[in-house]
Amino acid sequence: MSIVGKVMLSIPILSTIDTLKLAHNFYNHRLARFNLKALAKEFNVDLIQHHRAINDARATAQIFLKMLNDLEQMGIKTYNSLNDSIIEDAYKYVFPYHLTLLATNRKGIKHLNEIVSLSLTEHFYKEPRLLEKVLDEKREGLLVGSGCQNGEIFTIAYNGSIEELEERMGYYDYIEIQPPYQYAYLFSKNYDKQDIDNEGSSQDIKEALELISTEYEEQIKDTIKKIITVARKMGKIVVATGDVHQLDEEDTILRQIFVEAPQVGGGIHELAKAGIVLPQHYMTTEEMLSHFLFLGEAIAYEIVVTNTNLINDKIEQLSLFPKKLFAPKDDFLVDQGIQSVEEELKRITYQKAESLYGNPLPKYVNERLKKELKNIIDNDYATIYYISYMLTNKCKEDNSVVGSRGSVGSSFVAYCMNITDVNCLVPHYYCPDCHYNAFKYSIAEQGKYEDKIPDYLLENLSLVTNGLDLKPAKCPKCGKDLVGDGCDIPFETFLGFKGDKVPDIDLNFSSEYQTTAHDYTRELFGENNVFRAGTVSTVQGRTAYGCVKNFLDRHDKKMSKTEMDIIIEKITGVKRTTGQHPGGIVVIPKNIDFSDVVAIQYPSDNVDSDWKTIHYEYDKYEKNLLKLDLLGHRDPTMISKLMEYVERYPEEFPFKEYEDI
């Protein structure tokens, strides 16, 4: 320990008050910026010869005295009472730093989902923010790394004491260092994370980056050596990482184009003033080793190869998402008097089928029902069907039109539950009065079912492939008009050959009713169990062209059309922002937490949104969670308006012949 350090041990630790933190805590409603110039203007303090130390100190003292007067009027007169008055959202005014989180097991993935969700919702302020107390609560199953050059360790090692470095280094599971050239930004006066809007020319940063090989190289290397020395003393693993932002070195220009482009939601990237962007590509082992040879070959190999494998060995082999479907349980509606959704599904289905085809059901119909119900129940899809049934039933009770689309029309169970209007059975006649029925069987089926069908009905059936095209005919038993139906669609079209494909039921509501349908799902499951399906918006061709063109104009560069096309193609499809599916609602069963599978956020980081969205795209978790596509369309709205003119029995409105209308 140095002599200064020994002397300091005898000096008591004095309380300190940070005027910047005071401004953040008590004047955030009055100030947009918190630099000395802004504070001096707010408190009417003269700021003469700004940036001259003695003048800045005098102005700061005068500002502090005025702050103390304000605090006294608020009843805050002691140091402890000042600390007790820290506002709940003080985290908004703390300068954040980066770190790395690695999930080592399933518990870690759950905690990572919780952390991501909190940082994107409750603690979001201009960017996702992770509170240290949250990380402390959810640290099990995670490895915490010290992050890149935007982390706190390098800055403390460069500016702070050994004691301070040891204290903060103790918080991390492993310490990261990057190739020396990547720290160049930190040595430019213009690259100020605390005040990105400060004045200055980008030339300052260019010069700083050019000087990395001379003026700052030794300082950076000495700081890296200091970090390694302290980490070894504390028994911490040191790992060389690349802070990778691109795949290949040649793609640096692509990142520079995005850095200089206006950000979604306004503002500029914090590196935009630099004028250049350093290569941060996915390096080979040899490349990484070459950047750390100044430490000696043995240490370079240790931090690049040996220690990275040590970290890897701490992580279990697992998939990001579980390998099962989490659907609502069979008794999820028990509080509404429904003990078993599966039994209710059977009851409703058979009741509808018997109302059409009689009791007992024709053998063909009964077999189809049994087959579908077995696959649906065995694969835990009964609740999915029943939720769709409740939504369509609610819509019809509210006198609005709803229809389904897609392959759900191949499910006879869905038809019997009024989820779809498509009858997927083979073309057939049935009598609404006496329940007589006649089906168009294949030759093999004729021998199996042995139904006796009059010749005139057989002839009519032989002429069509779709029962909706059957000619009008009379019932051979009661003489009433027969109804033609049946679109001949195999059930496998919907749930696959094994019947284990997750049902994708799309419901088309009136655009005026869609919000009601969405709110009804919230009512059924609770606000914390229903989220909008998230989407990822990517850079499109025209936007890519504009970004490249503006970049070339800013730098007064020329490029051939072929070169431009190559760059445009590379940046097309890159993530730009997030959004929400127009009608996709994801249901989280009450017996699990959303973080068991996914993370959540606000769409496009809009904290004023009424809905939260799933952080991942649906195709990543489609085998895990139920998604309801509750879409809004104009056609149901138009039909609803037209049907207001139908005085009686709108569901029986004839559409076969225009003369009937």
Asked whether the predicted pLDDT for residue 194 surpasses 50, the reply is no
Angstrom distance (rounded) from CA 261 to CA 639: 46
> Structure tokens of 224?
């890296």
Helical H runs in 610-649?
618-621, 634-643
Whether the Cβ atoms of residue 209 and residue 274 lie closer than 8 Å to each other? yes
Dmax of the chain from CA atoms? 113
Give the strand pairing for 483-485 and 530-538. Answer: unpaired
Cα separation values, 430 from 59, 393, 436, Å: 93, 25, 5
pLDDT in tens, 339-389: 999 999 999 999 999 999 999 999 999 999 999 999 999 988 999 999 999
Angstrom distance (rounded) from CA 23 to CA 381: 56
Give the strand pairing for 506-510 and 626-633. Answer: parallel
| pLDDT at residue number 653 | 60
| pLDDT at residue number 204 | 42
pLDDT-above-90 percentage for the chain: 55
List the one residue out of 325, 323, 328, 322 whose CA is nearest residue 529: 328
146-313: CATH topology: TIM Barrel (3.20.20)
pLDDT in tens, 402-414: 888 777 888 999 9
Q: How is the chain split into domains, by residue range?
A: 18-87, 146-313, 334-495, 506-650
- Tokens 């779709």 belong to 466
Angstrom distance (rounded) from CA 502 to CA 643: 35
Task: Name the band, by pLDDT with cuts 50, 70 and 90, for residue 327.
Answer: confident
pLDDT in tens, 19-54: 888 888 888 888 888 889 989 998 999 988 888 889
506-650: CATH topology: glyoxalase-related enzyme like fold (3.30.1900)
Whether the Cβ atoms of residue 592 and residue 621 lie closer than 8 Å to each other? no
Please tell me which residue, 233 or 608, carries the higher pLDDT value.
233
Whether the Cβ atoms of residue 383 and residue 329 lie closer than 8 Å to each other? yes
Q: Record the pTM.
A: 0.82
